[in-house]
Amino acid sequence: MSDTLEFAAPSLPSPASGGGKGGGSAAWGRTASALRVALGVVAFFLILELITSLGLVPAIYLPRASTVVERMAELMVDPKFLKQILATLEAWAVGLALATLISVPIGILIGTSEPAYKMSSPVIEFMRPIPSVALIPLAILLWGQGFSMKVILVAYAAAWPILFNTVYGVHDVDPIAVETARCFGLKRRSMLWRICLPSAAPLIFTGIRISASIGLIVVIGSELLASTDSGIGSYILFVSLNGGHMDSVLAGAAIAGIVGVLINWLLGLIDRRLFAWRYLGATAR
Amino acid sequence: MSPTEPSKAATSALLGALRSMAVRWGLGVGLVALWQVLAMRAGSIFFPPPTEIAKRAVELWLSGPPSRLFLSDGVFQDILPSLLRLLAGWSLAVACGIALGTAIGRSRRISELLDPSLQFLRAIPGPALVPVFILLLGTESTMRIALIAFGSIWPVLLNTIEGTRTVDPVQLDTAASFRLPRGALLWRIVLPAAMPKIFAGMRISLALAVILMVVSELVASTNGIGYRIQNAQIMFLLTDMWCGIVLLAVIGYTLNRLFLTIEDRALNWHRGARGRSAA
Amino acid sequence: MLSVAELAYSYSSEKPVLANVTFAVVAGEIVSIVGPSGCGKTTLLKILAGLLRPIKGDVRFQGEIVRGVPAGLAMVFQEYSRSLLPWTTVTGNVELPLRYKKLDRPARARLVSDSLEAVGLSGFGQYYPWQLSGGMQQRVAIARALAYQPKLLLMDEPFASVDAQTRADLEDLVAAVRDRFGITIVFITHDIDEAVYLSDRVVVLSTSPTTVIDVITTELPRPRDQIATKALPTFVEKRSAIARLIRRRNADSLQHPAPRE
């Protein structure tokens, strides 16, 4: 049951540990970290520029990295494209919110009731692997090619990781904490609010983070594959069908990637703020 | 033991097995039965009753000659190619992901340097790259395998980097104190230590690969499970479409189960060691 | 066997850990190193093993300056559950370092079974480390070090994470191992009683920046016994002396007046 948890493990560079090297003060560490990130990005760009300038593939098929970056800059100041980003994010946000509102309560119900837990595990196990892309054709038939279709697909795909993590988080609370609470005479409802939920909250939030990434992929995917009328995905589709301007196609895909990175980073910040207590012991050695 | 006791033990074992099966499948069967009843009553064309779906599935895939295990042409035309592409792409992703991930994870500097770029590449939605791959590699199987591999490498790669980077320092010190040569350090300490994370990454990659397989077949393709589902949608053959969806669910579930069984075996020690430290 | 000269080490420029550590170990001795918490005992041991490089001074093992881990040295760590590899059996663990020593299979097997027998774990080869109790796991770690046939055995607070009863057995095991195999042993402990009971000499460290306050010879007869030896007046005298040394240095560093004795 640990795959979702492993996947969301934030990929932080570990703080300078022993082994002969001196660890500097915290501020220098942070600047050094930021510099390293910048250096990495620049290095990455340079490698790409080098590969794409070699002319292994004709430029119409694979333009130079600098051309793509130029196009990205153009798009980011183009109000029409910005509208597309907004449209994508709108559908994504609504779908994610819907999934959270449905999955968290159901997850709590299932997690706190042993028979319900036993019965629903196999069903969840079966439903999880259904790729939401497979449901795009069905969704088109039922809800057309607009906003509602996107929202429902995102909600469907995002519901499972959140449900999964909520059930697991609520069900597998530290038994010692539960025992201690019972010794203090806590009744069932307070037990829920004061012990289970706070303990499960980080896991639930991790589920939301995972669903956020999946949701973004699903919304852009559905825009592309269902040829909707708005969104980053529909832009990519439009450009590739009308003249195949590779620089625009790649620019669109790259911007989608950046949006994903930003969302993940933001959620990571919130995670560490809200649940700082979870990470305090982790870096101590 | 008297003659009646073994049969009593057997009966209670049987009852126990039945009860746990009932718990396991009860809800699922119940939901399907509910769907059947509602479909027969309300009769929406979008949600045909399960019995219809099952019947059509047999027609589509299990009505071939006995010499071929009753499998019909559709299986060989669509299902098998899809599965083969899926496995090829996923295996490629796993092999490259573990190899690259180990190389990157060994050096903290390199992994820190590459981390933002890898996070960026992983965040690019697979579907967004379909036009790129089509333009670069055409519309044949090569493109699909490449898309599956490129899209599903990230969980394995990132988890391998994480796993090889976070080997317990006590284990590394132990290896150093016994002057283990480099190869031994890699194969006998780093990789086994990283196995749990690598397996987790492989499992997520598998799910991702299934998605990408379908995605690659929804655009400009002439065969495959995804193609059939889309085709059915265009021709408004809803039962056929549902057959495809159910088939995907079965494939996804089965592959996941198979993988879990293998992972179970391989990571026996991990569960034992974890259980110990939790005690 | 081992000589340490003016060793200095620090993790960062502001906070030196070891300032000037000098002592020597003769072949066949058991020497223990005691000191207050945080004085860098583990760091010192890692430098002795060649896992860390000192900033000043040097360590000589059998006359050669230590640069990296020398041959003929084995270590036993405090965290035995993290040092033993959970994915292989006890036999696999004990055998692992031997695989790279150019021995053939029967020779390796013999070393493994001999060392398991020496630590009293003869029948446990097929178990996984996490199936064994803490004390047994540490025995496996000791067996692994023994099978390697080192000249010098370094132990980092090996019995700190083990219960008192098991600790007594393991202490006697270490003494028996030295008698049987003639290995030189240097071990770190925070337990003064253990240090005096087991060793021939005790190196007493100060708080950081750490120096050697004194090296005390235990002058206790061998073979030693958990009950009889600890009742001897020499034992009490030596352990009190060491305790006083540490307490006085502790008090100095905290800038409190030294307590009346």
Q: Do B138 and B235 fall within a single domain?
A: yes
CB contact under 8 A, B28 and A122: yes
Q: Do B130 and B252 fall within a single domain?
A: yes
pLDDT at position B277 = 55
Q: Do B27 and B142 fall within a single domain?
A: no
Residues of A in contact with B158 (CB under 8 A): 11
CB contact under 8 A, B245 and A135: yes
CB contact under 8 A, A20 and C13: no
Residue B12 lies in a domain: yes
**pLDDT for C212-233, tens place per residue?**
888 888 888 878 888 888 888 8
pLDDT at position A17 = 34
- Per cent of chain A over pLDDT 90 is 19
**pLDDT for A42-54, tens place per residue?**
888 888 888 877 7
- Helix, strand, coil percent values for chain A (each to nearest 5): 75, 0, 25
The letter for the amino acid at B193 is A
C9, C10, C12: which to substitute to probe chain A, counting the most A Cβ within 10 Å?
C12
Residue B58 lies in a domain: no
What phi and psi values does residue C205 have, to the nearest 5 degrees? -100, 155
Give me the residue from C82, C88, C128 closest to B272, CB to CB: C128
Three-class SS state of B159: helix
Q: Do B33 and B161 fall within a single domain?
A: no
Supply the CATH number for residue B246's domain: 1.10.3720.10
C contact set with B (CB within 8 A): 46, 49, 51, 69, 71, 73-75, 77, 79, 81-83, 85-88, 96-97, 99-100, 128-131, 148
CB contact under 8 A, C46 and B188: no
Residues of B in contact with A257 (CB under 8 A): 120-121, 123-125
Residues of B in contact with A135 (CB under 8 A): 245
CB contact under 8 A, B188 and C73: no
Does residue C76 carry a pLDDT above 50?
yes
Region A124-130: mean pLDDT is: 79
Query: CA of B263, closest CA in chain C: separation in Å?
Result: 14
> Is A105 at the interface with chain C, CB within 8 A?
no
* Strands (DSSP E) found in chain C: 2-12, 15-25, 30-34, 56-61, 64-65, 73-76, 152-156, 184-188, 201-205, 210-217
Q: A284 falls in which pLDDT band (50, 70, 90)?
A: very low
> Is C255 at the interface with chain A, CB within 8 A?
no
Report the half-sphere exposure of A48 (CA within 13 A, side-chain side).
18
Q: A13 falls in which pLDDT band (50, 70, 90)?
A: very low
Q: C250 falls in which pLDDT band (50, 70, 90)?
A: low
**pLDDT for A131-183, tens place per residue?**
888 888 888 888 888 888 999 999 999 999 899 888 888 887 777 777 787 78
Does residue C25 carry a pLDDT above 50?
yes
pLDDT at position C254 = 61
Q: A285 falls in which pLDDT band (50, 70, 90)?
A: very low
- Show the low-confidence residues of chain B (pLDDT under 50): 278-279
B167, B170, B171, B178: which to substitute to probe chain C, counting the most C Cβ within 10 Å?
B178
CB contact under 8 A, A14 and B166: yes
Residue B218 lies in a domain: yes
pLDDT at position B39 = 79
In chain A, which residue's Cα lies nearest the Cα of C46?
A19
pLDDT at position A12 = 36
**pLDDT for B1-15, tens place per residue?**
555 667 777 888 888
B contact set with C (CB within 8 A): 168, 170-171, 173-174, 176-181, 184, 188-189, 192, 195, 269-270, 272-273, 275-277
What phi and psi values does residue C16 have, to the nearest 5 degrees? -70, 140
In chain A, which residue's Cα lies nearest the Cα of B155?
A7
Q: Do B172 and B229 fall within a single domain?
A: yes
Does residue C180 carry a pLDDT above 90?
no
In chain A, which residue's Cα lies nearest the Cα of B242?
A138
In chain B, which residue's Cα lies nearest the Cα of A3?
B200
CB contact under 8 A, B168 and C97: no
Written as six digits, the tokens of C80 are: 């035995």
The CA-atom distances, in angstroms, between A253 and each of A68, A85, A256, B271 are 10, 12, 5, 40
**pLDDT for A208-235, tens place per residue?**
998 998 899 889 888 888 877 888 888 8
Of the candidates A30, A84, A217, the residue with the CA atom closest to the CA atom of residue B215: A217
Q: A280 falls in which pLDDT band (50, 70, 90)?
A: low
Q: A283 falls in which pLDDT band (50, 70, 90)?
A: very low
Quickly list DSSP for C89-103. -HHHHHHGGGGGS--
> Is C11 at the interface with chain A, CB within 8 A?
yes
Mean pLDDT of all residues belonging to chain A = 80
**pLDDT for B22-62, tens place per residue?**
777 777 788 888 888 887 777 777 888 888 888 888 888 88
pLDDT at position A152 = 92
Does residue A10 carry a pLDDT above 60?
no
pLDDT at position A281 = 54
In chain B, which residue's Cα lies nearest the Cα of C83?
B171
Domain boundaries, chain C: 27-72+152-253, 85-149
Question: 3-state SS of A102-136?
Answer: HHHHHHHHHHHCHHHHHHHHHHHHHHCCCCHHHHH
C223 preceded by cis ω (within 30°)?
yes
Q: Do B9 and B73 fall within a single domain?
A: no
CB contact under 8 A, A19 and C52: yes
pLDDT at position C255 = 55
Query: CA of B91, closest CA in chain A: separation in Å?
Result: 19
CB contact under 8 A, C12 and A18: no
Please work out, in degrees rounded to the nearest 5, the angle formed at the alpha carbon of residue A16 by the alpha carbons of B174 and C138.
25
Tally of domains within chain B: 2
Sign of the dihedral through C-alpha B72, B76, B78, B83 = positive
Region A96-114: mean pLDDT is: 90
pLDDT at position C129 = 92
Residues of B in contact with A65 (CB under 8 A): none
Query: CA of A39, closest CA in chain C: separation in Å?
Result: 25
Domain boundaries, chain A: 26-54, 64-279
Q: Do B223 and B262 fall within a single domain?
A: yes
Written as six digits, the tokens of A30 are: 């942070």
Residue B91 lies in a domain: yes
- What residues pair up with C59 in beta bridges, in sequence order? C4
Residues of B in contact with A285 (CB under 8 A): 169
Does residue A205 carry a pLDDT above 70?
yes
Higher pLDDT, B175 or A195: B175
pTM: 0.83
pLDDT at position B7 = 76
CB contact under 8 A, A123 and B207: no
The CA-atom distances, in angstroms, between C12 and each of B70, B144, B237, C17, C132 are 73, 53, 72, 9, 39
Which overall architecture, per CATH, does domain C27-72+152-253 show? 3-Layer(aba) Sandwich (3.40)
pLDDT at position C37 = 77
Residues of B in contact with A150 (CB under 8 A): none
Does residue C70 carry a pLDDT above 50?
yes
A63 preceded by cis ω (within 30°)?
no
What phi and psi values does residue B70 have, to the nearest 5 degrees? 65, 10
pLDDT at position A6 = 36
Chain A, chain B: beta-carbon pairs less than 8 Å apart = 191
Q: Do B99 and B217 fall within a single domain?
A: yes
CB contact under 8 A, B177 and C73: yes
Range of the domain at B132: 66-278
Query: CA of B244, closest CA in chain A: separation in Å?
Result: 8
Q: Which residues lie below 8 Å from residue C37, measured CB to CB, with a gap of 6+?
A: C190
The CA-atom distances, in angstroms, between B34 and each of A137, A272, B56 are 24, 44, 20
Residues of B in contact with C49 (CB under 8 A): 177
ipTM over 0.90: no
Region C176-189: mean pLDDT is: 89
What phi and psi values does residue B176 have, to the nearest 5 degrees? -65, -40
Of the candidates A154, A88, A134, the residue with the CA atom closest to the CA atom of residue B216: A134
Listed by number, the residues of chain C in 16-75 with a beta carbon closer than 8 Å to a beta carbon of chain A are 52-53
Give me the residue from C12, C52, C53 closest to A23, CB to CB: C12
Residues of C in contact with A22 (CB under 8 A): 10-13
**Which class in CATH covers the domain with range A64-279?**
mainly alpha
Q: Do B38 and B86 fall within a single domain?
A: no
In contact, A17 and B167? CB cutoff 8 Å: no
Listed by number, the residues of chain A in 19-78 with a beta carbon closer than 8 Å to a beta carbon of chain C are 19-20, 22-24
Question: 3-state SS of A205-271?
Answer: HHHHHHHHHHHHHHHHHHHHHCCCCCCHHHHHHHHHHCCCCHHHHHHHHHHHHHHHHHHHHHHHHHH
Residues of C in contact with B196 (CB under 8 A): none
**C209 CB-contact burial (10 Å; exposed 0-12 / middle 13-18 / buried 19+):** middle
User: Which chains contact C through at least 3 pairs of Cβ atoms less than 8 Å apart?
Assistant: A, B
What phi and psi values does residue A94 have, to the nearest 5 degrees? -65, -45
